[in-house]
Amino acid sequence: MARVNPQFNLGPLIEKEKLKADGSNYADWVRSLRIVLRSAKKDYVLTTPLPAEPGPGASEAEHNVHQTKLDDSNAVQCLMTACMESELQGRFENTTPHLIVQELDALYAKHARTERYEVTHAMWNCKMKEGTPVSEHVIKIMRFGQRLTELGFPIPESLGTDIVLMSLPPSFKNFVQNYRMNGMDKSVNELLAMLKKCGDYHAG
């Protein structure tokens, strides 16, 4: 029986939302999984195949190393399947963590690409309306950027700033021109602070 290390018990972290059979929450689920396993130095089981059992002539140390890796693999596999919907549990109950992640990546890659496209499209087409709070608008764009980061496609800080500037209405024309003429290179948070000084409700 696998020795389950309570320090990387996944239950409290993701039992509130198990991996869905349609894969709609896979990006969030696997990210949480990696964070927990990395904190316990067990994330290697997701990327490294379980080695073959040592032969008869192997030393005791080699057998011990293999047994430790086997225990880690079994423990993580049990916890992963416990945090899946029943349809997936049956499919992966006898599969090593390394192969589980490979199969899930292949199974849900299309879903992840679709979400990435939808978030990117929404971000690029997010335009601020005149007379609406600039802070709410910028925070909305920042949330799109955070979601892309969670999906594994972080937006460079300078590009994020450009996206915000291009999304502003005509009443911010002078602000954008001054920003560019002065060669400013601010983070999105710094840009937000500058925009808020103009007033949340900017009058053209």
Tens of pLDDT, residue by residue over 105-138, are 888 877 778 888 999 999 999 999 998 999 999 9
pTM score: 0.59
Whether residues 97 and 142 fall in one domain: no
Q: What is the pLDDT of residue 191?
A: 92
Whether residues 89 and 45 fall in one domain: yes
Whether residues 69 and 142 fall in one domain: no
Whether residues 33 and 102 fall in one domain: yes
Question: Which domain covers residue 36, as residue numbers?
Answer: 6-108
> Cα-Cα-Cα-Cα dihedral of 107, 109, 111, 112, to 10°?
140
Q: What is the pLDDT of residue 103?
A: 92
Q: Are the C-beta atoms of residues 176 and 130 closer than 8 Å to each other?
A: no
Whether residues 25 and 94 fall in one domain: yes
Count: domains in the chain: 2
Q: What is the pLDDT of residue 16?
A: 65
Whether residues 91 and 145 fall in one domain: no
Ramachandran bin of 123, using left for φ above 0, alpha for ψ from -120 to 50, beta for the remaining angles: alpha
Whether residues 19 and 101 fall in one domain: yes
* 204 assigned to some structural domain: no
Q: Which residues of the chain have pLDDT under 70?
A: 1-16, 199-204
- Of 108, 141, 162, which marks where a domain is finished? 108
C-alpha to C-alpha distance for 196 and 186, rounded to whole angstroms: 14
For 76, the token pair is 């993580």
* 131 assigned to some structural domain: yes
Q: What is the pLDDT of residue 160?
A: 92
Whether residues 99 and 180 fall in one domain: no
Whether residues 10 and 45 fall in one domain: yes
* 134 assigned to some structural domain: yes
- Of 108, 143, 175, which marks where a domain is finished? 108
Whether residues 13 and 103 fall in one domain: yes
Whether residues 190 and 132 fall in one domain: yes
C-alpha to C-alpha distance for 18 and 31, rounded to whole angstroms: 13
Q: Measured between alpha carbons, how far is residue 14 from residues 9, 35, 72, 106, 123 in Å?
A: 10, 12, 19, 22, 28
